[in-house]
Structure 1
Amino acid sequence: LTCPSCGQENPEGARFCNACAAPLAAEAPERREERKVVTVLFCDLVGSTAQAERMDPEDVRALLSRYHERVRAELERWGGTVEKFIGDAVMALFGAPVAREDDPERAVRAALAVREWAGEEADVQVRIGITTGEVLVALNTRPELGEGMAAGDVVNTAARLQAAAPVDGVLVDETTFRATERVIEYAPAAPVEAKGKADPVAAWKVVQTRSRYGVDVRQIGTTPLVGRERERTVLTEALARVKEEGSPQLVTLVGVPGIGKSRIAWELFRHIEGGSELVTWRQGRSLPYGEGVAFWALGEIVKAQAGILETDAEADAAAKLERAVRTLVADERDAAWVERHLRPVVGLESGTASGGDRGEAFAAWRRFLEALAALRPLVLVFEDLHFADDALLDFVDHLADWASGVSLLIVATARPELLARRPAWGGGKSNALTISLSPLSDEDTARLVHALLDRSVLDAELRQTLLERAGGNPLYAEEFARLVAAGREAAELPETVQGIVAARLDLLPIEEKRVLQNASVVGKVFWLGTLASMDERLPLEQRLHTLERKEFVRRERAPSVAGETEYAFRHILVRDVAYGQIPRAERAEKHRLVAEWIESLGRPEDHAEMLAHHYLSALELAAATGADTARFVERARAAGRDAGDRALALHAPTSAIRFYETVIELWPEDDAGLPELLFSFARALTTAGDERSEGALEHARDVLIAAGAGARAAEACALLSQLWWY
């Protein structure tokens, strides 16, 4: 066994390295691969080879070590994974192994941070290239040992952009540009000729950021509020009650990403701004994946009240905090007590031993906020509370329970994952209310899309596509409308939406994510029995119950398969993204398993279309990966033919044509069933009024005659006569 830490060879069966005592894996982990949309960053020092010629080797090593260490730190600070260093070049991935909603933005900001450090502190120059696209990711590799994580054209393109970038310049591709143009300022750059590509790669040069990270510059209120009037009223009435009664209220807005939680909170802010009474508004946001320190959102609230900036020196921040506390808390001893407990919240040393009494800290923080609310009504907004650590959740709960004698409205926004973690959140409190935001109706979504596109009338097909893709989600509707306004196809998936859905999937435990991926192969609707046939290792009922609580799926009350428990994806885009993550060879095998489960139900003619879809998909995917397709071909042909026959019998000639066209390509020319198949295809074309029907009937007639099928040939002649007559 090779030690992953020091490279020392060890005898088989050893549990710890003989050289460094690091634990050794007993066996290689199961290889896990996924297709992911990632952002790839390549960075290289400029002129390092010439510089090295003039330097002592030890100085060169010291320079590169400092460069590697700082670049790694900046990239990882922004959520990147450093895959490898090659001399003075570095490659990093944003979105693997775990996706975040804003990976392209993080990559660009990381590039700017590296460039700033290189120019101001290291006195070196860099070139950086960034691309976004789909790659195959090996999830359990160890980049620190030089194991490659990602493969795909997007990696090569990033390297080409890096090589073409100007000195101290950052070039990005079109996909990265589209995903970040609202937060990053760009200048057009000359297209980059890339080896192996037919066309030059469109490129943009990064100029500067448009805003501080985490600030939404999309102007929340520029789109009309549709279908959320009741929720807005609940919030404004809660504020009125707080003012009237002088007691705290907790309102939690729960919903999936993009459903409108932040918009409703913004509507409350606008209501306050338009009122005559002064109200203090403070808000903080919990960062994902543990990127912030504990109580990050509370820290943002305290910093805003004290006027502490991220660029303040420690002494200046401490002075501002002291001034803010003593302005609110008159008693000298109380003020010192409150300040001492607030210092760690804003990133200052507390001056006392760590690990103190949490109850005392909660009381001190509450005292500070009560003093603030005593001046005038106070609204505290805790955004993205599903990302918060348990300690912050406990404090918000404590604040709602124990604050008294002040007008305090606490507004929390969270995804359903919060209620999966804390099912009793807000329960049992007379002053707490949880609002679950449902998708917009088709009528409201259509109103929103019409307003976004500034059109009174939409093509019926486009309107239906937009409604289906948005699925009642206002943010998705906005992004799809933006897509259409830019001249792109509504069937595409906007980079922003892809990022949101992928990030939410990557937050799930592996077992829950695997359930969704397996279900995505079945379709928008799936059954418990199908999932069990695909992976017997998974404890499905509990996993599905949890996914239902997190609003990924819903259980259907009237299953379409007798004796089966039926589920459906709540949003088709979750299904699409989960399906797209599965490597093609694995997808082919899963389609085969689903088809075999459908066959096990009996009466295959009732499920002909489903059988055809899964067998034909398995065949296509297996062929694309170069795998042996012999085990798929015959069943795929038969299923496709049966599906065509069923569609034709049900007077759906267009569907029949689609199935027949596919299986004719697969049918052997010397097979006895081919003449009948060609005749069925010709009949479907004739029924549909397709212009190809005459030629297809003539071909079918000739083949039937050659096969000795005189009766069928006569039917073909009769249909031809009807065509000629009419």
Structure 2
Amino acid sequence: MICPGCRYENLEGANYCNQCGSPLLTTVRADFPPQSFDEKLAKLQRYLPEGLTRKILSQRDRIEGERRHVTVMFCDMEGFTPLVDRLGAETAYTVMGKIYEILIRQVHDYEGTINEMTGDGIMALFGAPIALEEAPQRALWAAHAIHREIAVFNQHQKDFGPIRMRIGIHSGPVVVGTLGNDLRVEFKAVGDTVNLASRMEHLAEPGTTCVTRDIFKQARGMFEFENLGKKVIKGKGESISVYKVLPDRKGVHRPRLGSERMIFSDMVGRSSKLDQLELQVLKLINGSGAIVNVIGEAGIGKSRLIAELKQRESLRRVTVLEGRAVSMGRNLSFHPISDFLKHWAGIRVDDDATEAFSKLKAALQRLFPDKSGDVLPFVATLLGMNLPKAHRDRIRGIEGDALEKLIRKNVREVLIRLSKLGPLIVIIDDLHWADKSSIALLEFLFRLAKQERILFINLFRPGYAETGHRILSALENGNSVYQLDIVLEPLDERMSEALIVDMLDLKGINHAVVGQIVQRAGGNPYFIEEVVRSFIDEGAVVIRGGKFQVTDKFGTMTIPNTINDVLMARIDRLEENARDLLKVAAVIGRNFFYRILSEVSGSTRDMDDRLSYLKDMQFILERERFEELEYHFKHALTQEAAYASILPDKCKALHLEVAHTIEKVFAEKLHAFYGMLAYHYSRGENLEKAEDALIKAGEEALKTSASSEALHYYLEALNLYRRKSGQTADSAKVALLEKNIAVAFHNRGQYEEALQYFDKSLEFYWGKFPKHPVSRFFHMTYGFFHLLVALYLPFMKFKKEPTAKDSEAIELFYTKCQTLIIIYPRRFFFESLYFYRRFTQFDFTRFPNGAGKFISASALFTFTGISFGLGRRILALAQGRLNRQDERQMITYDLLQSTLKYFAGDWPGIDRHDDDLVNRNLDIGEIWSASLHYYWHGFHNLYQGDIAVTQWLVKRLNDIAEVYENDATLLFKQLLNTCLLMETRLLPEALDEIDRGVALAKKTNSGLSLIHLYGCRAQIHLLMGDRKAAAAALEKADVIRRSQEIVPWMVSVFCRSQAALALNRLQAVIADGHDADLPRLRSQAHKCCRALLRQTRKVAQHRTEALCMMGVYCWLIRKRRSALKWWQKSIRVGEHMGARIALSRAYAEVGLCLAEAESPQTLMGGITSSAYLEKAGALFEEMNLEWDLRRLPRMSQPKEA
């Protein structure tokens, strides 16, 4: 039996150790089966540092012997033996189990490793077997944590008196041995490292920690020590210095250091980068915009580079707008954009809502004397302002994607107008911390640099995928704007040394310590600067006679290993009241206003002196901003280090105090600060307040169309609410949050995720939607029946008055249907019938845009081709209930009526496009509806031969796409323009447009558009005589067609091209006399032509051509009478529909075929082939179809017998 105290192996059954006399706790031994390696690891893994776990898993049997410099900690409990006597072995064993859990957890929290567990303590190592930075500091932090946790333990366990630990720590070399079967690492000491650590533990008083001078020297910048003097240590030839670690930093005098430690230096090693930047400014002045990305690690000199640029003479000739993202700003909507816009408008943080709005209004009136009222509501919404009623009416009902597009458009116009007044530079600092909505808006604005005098300068750290990397990727993919990436590398050794010398103005200095600084700094200028400042703080460098001089201490200075070590040492040397103020500021954020800081710190006494002192110490900078005094940390790393040094409980309290102060100071415009409140309340662990702030922040984010941030807030709020409420959660509140999450996902285009939350939320309103196919079919049939009743017996429907809950459910399900039509058209059809069963119960005029929702039902029957009659009936029933002043309803009605007539073949009955209606919809952000209006009107104009009108509509689509940077509109333009170029036979230009369309369709994942574009490409290759290329294009289209849920219109061109290719092959075989292939190709051509005919019953776009192609097929197989009948139908249909392009080519085809016949044929009243060719020629000339005109005379030549 092993003694837990001295590890002596006693005989089984012994009650006391034969070596040291300690009680043996385990008196009964249970037999357990031997554990495997994996079982042992699983048992201990929750206590193992992650790095050690990985190392064990990779080596399994052993860890090779290694020589390491390790920090050793011994921890021993006072009065262990009396405790056992007092409590008994079993109870004492239980108590020690809890103590061990505390010790193990705290050691491993700081990535130490338990090397040995004695009966009343542990031996731990920091730095082996896994190497660690700051090993002494980690050991001390662990020691502090152990004392703190044991004190907490004592408060809860008062039955057996207080337990106190003695801790000793020393650093030195050890050799790491093998990893035994019990997963305990065995170490052997080189020298007396372990012995000295053990002796420190014996010297420590209960509840304290003692360390050697080695530990003191490495950690004195972060911990306070009391020098206990020199002690005689057994086994040491001379006495050594021993230090006691103090529990806090009170009572230690620090000499106040002020302006005499201010250091400055010329910028070193960046002159070429600065020249590159200034060159872009000069190009900007001469009219060329650009985007410059300044990329570098923290402290590398990004901000200094911009500061130097601002000193250049050229900057006096430009306007500079600056915005900064903040570390808590990942979910603060449009923060850097708002920052530079408020700066431009002169809005102060303490301006009340009325004053802030007035300043923005005045600024926009100066910029837009003619239309400031149109721009103001959207810019104000971006800035989170509450609008006065007159302006609120302007954006009433505009939300989601529509609002987002209008905000983008108006911010774009602000920058364009500013650039017209003079060259404009927009600087975004710390972009790596920006919110996603800001990144998306910046990507949109960057394109301005292509045509406007705008230079964007982005400063960010590498390695941030969602911000900096996303910007770089977006610029690389499809952006023709000039882009320059300035990557700031670390200074080399020569430049680093030059920087040190220049800072201290010590020419000719040559000291080993300078080399150490250079090596440790790794070329980071900020690290170098802070080390030099620490030398001044320590008196290693002093100022005499106005110049810096090196003292004797210079050669003995210890260089910290990391920038964090340097910063913490400097913060620690501050006067206590200044240090406390700095930590409060760190909790507020990188930037902080005087008023906020004074409120949170709780006292204004000596506030100015303390801030002045921190400025002198070069921790913070001061500037006038928005006519108020603002401070900010000189470097983000300083704020991070100060923040990290605050104890958790104190940090929570400060976050709560900051939140309360924000509520107090900004009570009148609190809506603009909900994101910050959510951040501070969450960090302060006030769950009730955090939840409330998260929900309100989500609402505000949706108002400004910042769907990414809204999504974050709502997801956090839902998780927090569920965690807090558990099984008692209110289903209505959960449904509301799920609804908002669904809408946010929908607005972001994440449709799969949106559907999940739509379904969850709708369960609260209407229960679960059936999943089983049979049940779904029943619900579909039942829904269809109810819709028929509504259409044919309307007096039985549309009676119920909707409640608020009904309205919410209808709006939610309708939005879900909009999502379904994009990704699951078939499911859209089924679930829409279920929706309209519910919808037709109510008087739909009581719903927002109720008539628009009802007429959308016609699309179910029109776009599927199921029944044009039902589509007409729906439109007719709704027509009398339309609000003709509602531009949304009217453009939706026009769209559905126009497409119904277009698909049905009633082309003469389609109304002319309505530019005024389009502009009214653009004004409220309905880019999608406005674009569809021009798109569909473009097709009937095209095929009716109104080429000039179609060209104008293509131009309008292109204009909208450019102004709103809208990919959907651009794709509509490319689809329509492809058909326009193809039908007018501008074939090379059409192929170029197809290439652009294919690239965009792939980017936007629009498989249906790809089918259309590949079908067009096949038709063009046939016209150019390349049958092989045509077949390849159709094969690509067919692969997509088979994998997608399609609507008939999107395969119209595909079916037409497929039939044309089949006829072309058949014609070639007949001409070549390859009779063996004739039956197969004849069958294939007949099949394709029949498929095209069936298609044109649902979509009349190519109906005239389909009938004509059937005539060509019959003519080729020598069924001349059948051919004449098909051509008669083709001409009759073409004339009825006004399909002049297809009609003219049918005339030409008929004329050609009749002309090549051996005996004259007549058609329809005796009209000859030459008459048909004349009809064709007249229409070709009327529509300016030059390609057809050039071919017509050659086509009309009769073939020789």
User: Which protein is richer in helix relative to its size?
Assistant: 2
User: Which protein is richer in strand relative to its size?
Assistant: 1
Give the alignment's TM-score, normalised by structure 1.
Answer: 0.41
Give the alignment's TM-score, normalised by structure 2.
Answer: 0.26
Larger radius of gyration: 2
Which structure carries more relative contact order (alpha carbon 8 Å, separation 6+)? 1
